[in-house]
A and B are shown apart, each in its own frame.
Chain A
Amino acid sequence: MAKTDGNAYTVIFATVMVIVVGGILAGLAQGLKPAIKENERFEKQQNILYAMGVHENGDDTGAVNFIPTDKVEEAYTSFIKESFVFQNGKALDGEDAFKVDMKKQSKLSKSERKLPLFVGERDGKKFYVIPMYGKGLWDAIWGYVALDENLIVQGAFFDHKGETPGLGANIKERYFMDDFIGEQIMNGNKYAGITVAKGNNDPINNTKDDNEVDALAGATITGDGVSAMIKSTLKSYIPHIQKMK
């Protein structure tokens, strides 16, 4: 085995290996990019539609059922009527709300941040779907909350990058997301957001005007992240929605 112990051999081996592996991975990533991008676009459309109540949750299994990928494009164009991008209190012209990268925007200061808003219509009712992006315990969390013109939540969808399976990861389960439906974000005339609360003693969420939903056991930080994300995001949209109605 002497030939594999020399320094020159080691350096050459390392170099060749890095080039080969780098080449394989770069080629693979390039080749698969269009398919991955397409999947991500469908997913975003599914999520937006889900938040405004366009889904196939007909059965009672409690599973999250999106509009299937082959139909989502069509459904999206028929349900989402308009979209806007706001910045610093004004609507921007010529911006595609769908292409706004929420992760990038979350790092900008408040006055520079672009706020995309999707306005959908279902059964003659208007829905304002608001994308949001925040921090959970381990990594990013994000979601879409649909409000009606009275600022009552009509639907919510949450997702995460790496929350703990069985604990924080359950924010994307229906029993958590469905709790938000009907919840108010205003407390009288004051803005309150929605808090994921541990001690609200209302596990079935009968009280819709307490600005609270029941938390997930064992997922305090993820829940706090959801509360903070909702609270900070929705606030900047209220004036825009009130102007529109």
Chain B
Amino acid sequence: MGLLSKKDQKLILDPLADDNPITIQVLGICSALAITAQLKASIVMSISVLFVLGVGNVVISLMRNIIPSKIRIIVQLIVVATLVIIVDQVLKAYAYSLSKELSVFVGLIITNCIIMGRFEAFALGNGPWRSFLDGIGNALGYGVILIIVGFFRELLGSGTLLGFKVLGDPIGDPVTGPTGLYSIGYENNGFMLLSPMALIVVGLIIWVQRSRNKALIEEN
């Protein structure tokens, strides 16, 4: 990454691991619960947040010196909502099927606390380029966790990945019966499809992460 200085690199790389928005900053948990039952939904959500957070951070950063501090939260909300609606409308006009996939995420992006959190914590106090990097970094960190959780929930809950039956067919042919793992008695764990299991998977990720890096463990 010869393009970026050491400090700028940290902005991108830190949120991927030791300053991860979900596992360390505990932001964006709600959407991590809501949409990770499928890997595809996780990926789509990650990309949407990547866009909104990257652009939103730049917009807020450009406006940081003129935003009245009394109403800054409302201003941030308006910026997010405007960006999301613009994206939604443009997709509806030029990529209709994609916009149908995204429809359920629009509301979730606006209320995603990662976005407000990064506007408030970073973009209000830093220049546009650094804010952009921070936005991209945090969105990637968020996306990584979402995709890990989505991977396990879809695999163990539905026995599929991106809709493909990777573990075999649980119902199969009426004559020969189930195929793959299901033929030796494996069953999908429907519990994985429910939101509490997302929290448990996130908890396991936090456990693994903190036992590998003891510096992350809080003293209390």
Contacts and interface: CB of A to CB of B under 8 A. Distances in A.
A and B form one complex: yes
Interface of A: 1, 4-5, 9-10, 13-14, 17-18, 21, 24-25, 28-29, 32, 35-36, 39, 42-43, 62-63, 69, 161-167, 169, 203-204, 206, 217-218
A165 B37 contact: yes
Contacts of A69: 96
Given A32-B92, A39-B96, A204-B171, A1 B194 contact: no
Given A10-B68, A164-B34, A217 B94 contact: no
Q: Could you tell me the dominant secondary structure of chain A's interface residues?
A: helix
A6 to B, nearest CB: 8
B78 A21 contact: yes
Interface of B: 34-35, 37-38, 41, 65-71, 74-75, 78, 82, 85-86, 89-90, 92-94, 96, 103-104, 107, 153-154, 157-158, 163, 171, 174, 190, 193-194
B49 to A, nearest CB: 15
A39 B67 CA distance: 38
B169 to A, nearest CB: 11
Interface SS of chain B: helix
A206 B174 CA distance: 9
Given A32-B90, A161-B103, A166-B41, A13 B66 contact: yes
B106 to A, nearest CB: 9
B104 A4 contact: no
A165 B89 CA distance: 21
Contacts of A166: 37-38, 41, 153-154, 157-158, 193
Contacts of A204: 171, 174
Contacts of A62: 163
21 contacts: A1-B65, A4-B69, A10-B68, A10-B71, A13-B66, A13-B75, A21-B78, A21-B82, A24-B82, A25-B85, A28-B90, A32-B92, A35-B94, A36-B89, A39-B93, A42-B96, A163-B104, A165-B41, A166-B37, A166-B38, A166-B154
A17 B75 contact: yes
Nearest to B96: A39
Contacts of B68: 4-5, 9-10, 13-14
Given A13-B68, A32-B93, A165-B104, A217 B41 contact: no
A203 B174 CA distance: 11
Given A5-B68, A10-B71, A204-B174, A218 B194 contact: yes
A165 B93 contact: no
A13 B154 CA distance: 47
Contacts of A25: 82, 85-86
Nearest to A28: B89
Contacts of A36: 89, 92-93
Contacts of B38: 165-166
A181 B99 CA distance: 28
A218 B193 contact: yes
A29 B86 CA distance: 9
A5 B66 CA distance: 10
A69 B95 CA distance: 12
A164 B34 CA distance: 8
Contacts of A165: 34-35, 37-38, 41, 104
Contacts of B104: 161-163, 165, 169
A167 B193 contact: yes
A148 B38 CA distance: 36
Contacts of A161: 103-104
Interface centre among B37, B67, B69, B94 (most CB of A within 10 A): B37
Given A24-B82, A217-B193, A218-B194, A164 B37 contact: yes
A208 B104 CA distance: 33
B75 A5 contact: no
A142 B86 CA distance: 26
Contacts of B103: 161-162
Given A25-B82, A167-B37, A204-B174, A43 B96 contact: yes
Nearest to B191: A218
A62 B89 CA distance: 29
